[in-house]
Amino acid sequence: DFAEGNIHHKALLISVTVCSILLVLIIIFCYFRYKRQETRPRYSIGLEQDETYIPPGESLKDLIEQSQSSGSGSGLPLLVRK
């Protein structure tokens, strides 16, 4: 009976130790990943406040027409007329 209780105690100790080590490794991994993302520059388009997305000489209608005819299934969907 003593040997069986001793085996359960060892199994519990080993499983708690393994879980603790895994938890520490996961926390370290998340910390370094967070720090790496913090040091990366943020994504920016690089546009000034006065600049627009529509090139000069084109209208919004032109951009919509280009997006509708740019390939199979791409672009904005056409309106359904009844």
Looking at the 3D structure of the chain, how many domains does it have?
Answer: 1
Chain mean pLDDT for the chain:
75
Judge contact between 75 and 67, C-beta under 8 A. Answer: yes
- pLDDT per residue over 15-36, tens digit each? 999 999 999 999 999 999 999 8
Three-state secondary structure call for residue 48: coil
pLDDT the model gives residue 39: 80
Residue 82 in domain:
no
Low-confidence ranges of the chain (pLDDT < 50): none
Judge contact between 60 and 54, C-beta under 8 A. Answer: yes
50: its two tokens:
């006065």
Residue 2 in domain:
yes
Domain residues for the domain of 20 are 1-51
SS3 content of the chain, % helix, strand, coil (to 5): 55, 0, 45
Give the predicted TM-score (pTM) of the model. 0.44
